[in-house]
Amino acid sequence: MFQHFFSDYLVKLQESNQQWWQDFEQGKGAVNSPLNQAMNEVGLNDFNELLKGAANQPAAMLDLQMHWWQQQMEIWQNVVMQETGKSSVIEAERGDKRFADSAWQEQAIFNFIKQSYLLFSKTYLDTINAVEGVDQKTKERLGFFSRQMINAMSPSNFIATNPELLKLTLEKNGENLVEGLSLLQQDMANSADVLKIRMTNNDAFKLGENVANTPGEVVFRNQLFELIQYRPTTETVHATPLLIVPPFINKYYILDLREKNSMMRWLVDQGHTVFMMSWCNPSAAHANVEFGDYVTEGVVKAVSAIEEITGQEQINAAGYCIGGTVLASTIAYYAAKRMKKRIKSASFFTTLLDFSQPGEVGAYINDTVISAIEMQNNTLGYMDGRSLSVTFSLLRENSLYWNYYVDNYLKGNSPVDFDLLYWNSDSTNVAASCHNFLLRELYLENKLVQDKGVKIGGVWIDLEKIKVPSYFISTKEDHIALWQGTYRGALQTGGNKTFVLGESGHIAGVVNHPDKNKYGFWTNEAMPDNAEEWFDSAAHNDGSWWPHWHQWLLGFNPDERVEPYQIGAANYPVLCSAPGVYVKQTLPVEASPEVVETQEFAAMV
């Protein structure tokens, strides 16, 4: 049995090694990339700064080492003289599932390995924070990348030091490793420069059937987006239509998963006439597409189409994540052009406008790293969405990366069927010019909140010129857009503002269907200058924030209800049924010789 296992395993291992070495020799992968070289340079400079600071305070460093040694000896005594019910010297943080198996506690050797690892992890990170004379940005980078290294080397990630994996491998005669290696080979073939580990069974879902299946029609298409108009489900509808602007770094159907958690279906059932933008998945042909194009050729075009289809002169609009940044820029663009008020109210879901507090993604925000990313983007014509997906997963590496590594490759388990993880794995590229702008102009230089910082369509935009009522929903555990940062951005806009803070994170806190009654939210009618001051006087509410937002939207709808609007119009004929064409573009996207113009694309479809 073992002979059969080792023969299969070694064959697959050799195949993987050959593919890895071939990619290495051809310059593929992260090892030889400009980004990896830049990150190594930044990491070395940061570590040198840490060593200099530590050398200037030897007494403090000695105290930390002695404290570590004392606790290490306590762990040894605790394990050797283990008594029933005796607590450990150090415990895993709440929510850390790596050491959930009882063997980590009951078997002395693994208990010792676990506690020693946890102590080392804590001591290492505490040492970084304790060193004086190192600026905060450097400490944040050192802490982030040290955490990545420490968690990659966790004993839970290796068979010999993980009792659960060791037992499983013996019981299955190693078949779990053979199955896992097959999954690894497939994932390597589907990855870009960094291994993208599958999170779910990608064959379990099909767009338009069991996800992204709210009935609707595509009524407009250009080289950047398709516009979906959802079919009404009520006898009458609210007069003011609603436009949703999703992020162009993800696909829109996070807001239209299965019926039980679809915001689109819920909004239509509340009587809203909803339009959704579905962005094109860029290829090298879109290399020169700029951030401003998502305004002038994106939201502006969508608003004009909705006005003609519905006959309404104003609409409500909502933007999610970077889609909210595009929406805010559009409203500011209208103001700068002195155009008529086209948007009646604006809602922003976990949206950064002030990028001075970007969260843990800030570890990548420095001139050296951004210059390397720009070089790669300009070479490819886009930022590969598969690599971008891994970057976001590594912001929560233990729950969004290494756990799947263990489950898939070491346990040999087939991924579960999970619609949200299916969406998360359905990555999109970002056009080179646009991604370069986001990193340098917004994240690094924070120009969106500066006077004459950002020009779109030939005019300087100013967030203070946004005078429409605004609704900001952020989430308390968001690691992509820190709620304190989104609050700072809210303060940059004019007009009446409502800020709401939901429980949970960037996705679960937003996609929080009322029927689940899972996460609550905080509200506060005041908008003080400080986010923490806002929170201290905020009131907690049970249940989803969706009904609260719905009631807020009704304030910008006449009491009268109208007959449902027709689907499309003479100049906006139905092109196909939802979810459309663009959302079905999967990576890698094949580049076309040039960006296809609207009429040519429509004729081709």
Dist CA 377 CA 383 (whole Å): 5
* Core vs surface per residue 91-100: b (16+ CB within 10 A) or e: ebeeeeebbe
Q: Annotated catalytic residue: which of 280, 321, 434, 576?
A: 321
Q: How many other CB atoms are there within 10 angstroms of residue 47's CB atom?
A: 16
According to DSSP H, which parts of 34-57 are helical?
34-55
Dist CA 356 CA 443 (whole Å): 7
Beta pairing, strands 561-562 & 237-238: antiparallel
The question of whether 434 is a catalytic residue gets the answer no
Among the listed residues 561, 552, 266, 290, the one whose alpha carbon sits nearest the alpha carbon of residue 442: 290
Among the listed residues 152, 275, 278, the one whose alpha carbon sits nearest the alpha carbon of residue 223: 278
Among the listed residues 233, 239, 323, 317, the one whose alpha carbon sits nearest the alpha carbon of residue 278: 323
Range list of β-strands (E), 400-458: 430-431, 455-456
517 class by beta-carbon count within 10 Å (0-12 exposed, 13-18 middle, 19+ buried): exposed
For residue 244, the surrounding DSSP H or E stretch is strand 242-245
Give the DSSP letter of residue 363.
G
Contact status, residue 466 vs residue 331, Cβ threshold 8 Å? yes
Among the listed residues 76, 49, 50, the one whose alpha carbon sits nearest the alpha carbon of residue 64: 50
Dist CA 436 CA 247 (whole Å): 16
The total number of residues shown for the chain amounts to: 605
Annotate 316-358 with three-state secondary structure: EEEEECHHHHHHHHHHHHHHHCCCCCCEEEEEEECCCCCCCCC
Dist CA 162 CA 155 (whole Å): 6
For 118, the 3-state DSSP assignment is helix
Dist CA 438 CA 416 (whole Å): 34
Q: Which residues contact 538 (CB under 8 A, 6 or more apart)?
A: 501, 522, 523, 524
Give the DSSP letter of residue 178.
H
According to DSSP H, which parts of 153-192 are helical?
163-171, 175-189
> Which residues are known to be catalytic?
321
